[in-house]
Chains A and B, each alone.
Chain A
């Protein structure tokens, strides 16, 4: 049987023009903006309540995060068990995540149940009644998690990086300890919630099959959130600028070492952010990246190696991390630096630049693939004062950037003495 000639690949097509529809912006009487992305086929409503305060605002450590993470168990009218049962009965969920700069409360519920469940959710969000027994249980669980994480080399590595970055004075840089977990009190949590859960500090984002009734129901509840003081913006933190000797923590029983190489970088609104995103992707942000090809596919040192940019305030953290065979810990670190050096010294082939461009175009498209992912992306853009136009701006920048520009950026950004090395595990 004759086979199809597969030697010629199908012609590739560029990402076609995508016009993102701006979400509808509705301002509640108390000033809270509600952004709505209509999706008539989505009967499971997604509502994100974003509070503009996060781990970087926290003092003492854990107080703010406890105040929000325990909300679901703090209904003034229902016990934690009853509230959980109510949420389940109406097919609703409520989850809280705490990032460096904000708290995101994600609520989902079937549209048909909005009047039955949303008032109860709003009640514990706005007027929590924290209970000692729930706090005690939560603390005991966190202590167990702490003990568990202390044995994980990659978690420990990340903690050491945060400590090196933010120092011991900021809660975000302090290590979690049994003592600081147990020290949190209900009055502290109440105060923290009171100070941060105010109209000036909140933005809301929603998607689903919206109609007037649903929108009114949400508005009538959340317009009751009182006014208060906006949390201070995080700007110009004094962060590390490179440590001369590596931070090393021995874990003798480890069969792998966790390594992290990191440095500070520009903030989200800096003009270097988009080029740096492209450079970071090329370095370790996708499967064909320099680091993945070298450490995993060529050397077989690791299952995975990744580079990433985390933004906060006017800055970012660029990091390369991996769990590597203990016999090759130092070799893996050396290989990372060699690859960074190569990006500074050797021209990047056009073919590679084209590939990373197409990969990023696809990534951008995936972020707006459905209304829920678009909602999350829009929320992120809004955090930095951007909107849907950022999609086209990023696409344009990706199209325009050249191999020379990426090499120039690498020369500035990949200087060895700007990096801190953190190793947890073994160096054999």
Chain B
């Protein structure tokens, strides 16, 4: 189990330290509790653009990347639906440089119009590269827009459109930074060859004088219970059809999350999963098929996706899959199968703890979601899942009226 020490500064910044003296590196994460779910529907993609803009310099650090590269660091960031995480990995003896640059851009970001203009171009190219110029690039955009009708998860962090990114102005950037990029909305995690008392002293020195931001009342439009099956059909210039089905499920903090995660593994991870065995190996209706869950702060999605084999229509494949799912009953192999996915999950957890930067990122994400302590023994949380839970959740979740189906069809050439 990962060992941590924590401190909260007077301005609300939560500081978490994980010492590991087997590595010469230090991982430094600042996670802000703001993601695409905090955007206005008319200004989507904004949190992600803000993440780009944060690299354009601050009052005392005109070039953020250069300042870090000069001390042997790499750094980057990502924006999810729930948070924005900035991370630095550097030789531990240069740790204080990370405190310098991160505190300066939290306190006094440089709002230069030229930088904003360039970053809008860069993000628009990222949009094209990942969502337009790639087969199946818009699948999740279409799918989320169908699954979520009220909640901001209906759009992805990249945003709904290039036009909304192009419309961003500096006043919006300043306001966003003021509201969300403040110590009481952030978590600082430092892990690696560091001493907790030293990290706490550095945190007080560099972040202690940054004023708290406005109090936040987080409130998001919640989805109504789904009572009718939803379906979207599109045609695109892609090589083959893709079927994607999903059911809204609990959030990441719900006690059922671990059971649903294991359920998705039972159904659709690997060749011994139920869906692969049934639809790829035995019935030969799909070339591949898999299942997964999204672990989001608000309601997530249990997803199944697959590509029908040549000669099998997407309608035929979907009908067979639906029949199977809605009539599904576990048989006598459940105890063995459940133990199998628990063991596999345990190995994944061990694997995710190898790199010091992965550990730091996990800690930052967990603390932003709720509190680190809640997640420190996830192995036990997976092992506590019962057969009864699996049976209950399967019958509660996998129903036709709660389903969302995307037919992503290849255009006839």
Contact = CB atoms under 8 A, between A and B. Distances in A.
B339 interface: yes
Interface in B271-286: 271-272, 276-277, 280-281
Given A81-B281, A366-B89, A12 B125 contact: no
Interface stretch (B91-99, B249-257, B321-329, B368-376): B91-99
Given A3-B209, A365-B24, A256 B287 contact: no
Interface stretch (B168-176, B296-304, B342-350): B342-350
A6 B237 contact: no
A359 interface: yes
Interface string A324-365: 110000000000000000000000000000111011011101
Contacts of B287: 137, 140-141, 144
Contacts of B205: 4
Contacts of B229: none
A243 B201 CA distance: 59
Contacts of B23: 369-370
Given A81-B277, A140-B309, A288-B65, A303 B71 contact: no
Interface stretch (B128-136, B143-151, B217-225, B395-403): B128-136
Interface stretch (B36-44, B78-86, B351-359, B385-393): B351-359
B122 A144 contact: no
A62 to B, nearest CB: 18
B213 interface: no
B209 A256 contact: no
A274 interface: no
Interface string B303-318: 0000101100000000
Contacts of B214: none
Nearest to A3: B209
A8 B90 CA distance: 19
Contacts of A245: none
Interface in B46-101: 59-61, 63, 65-67, 69-74, 89-91, 93-94, 96-97, 99-100
B69 A372 contact: no
B89 A44 contact: no
Interface in A37-84: 39, 41-44, 73, 80-84
A15 B91 contact: yes
A301 B60 CA distance: 28
B103 A6 contact: yes
A265 B139 CA distance: 41
Interface in A408-427: none
Interface of B: 22-25, 59-61, 63, 65-67, 69-74, 89-91, 93-94, 96-97, 99-100, 103-104, 107, 117-118, 120-123, 125-126, 128-129, 132-136, 205-206, 209, 211, 237-240, 269-272, 276-277, 280-281, 287-288, 307, 309-310, 336, 339-341, 343-344, 346-347, 350-351, 354-356
8 contacts: A4-B209, A10-B97, A12-B70, A91-B343, A144-B307, A286-B69, A355-B66, A365-B91
Interface of A: 1-4, 6-7, 9-10, 12-13, 15-16, 18, 39, 41-44, 73, 80-85, 87-93, 108-110, 137, 140-141, 144, 147-148, 150-153, 253-256, 286-288, 296-298, 300-303, 323-325, 354-356, 358-359, 361-363, 365-366, 368-370, 372-373
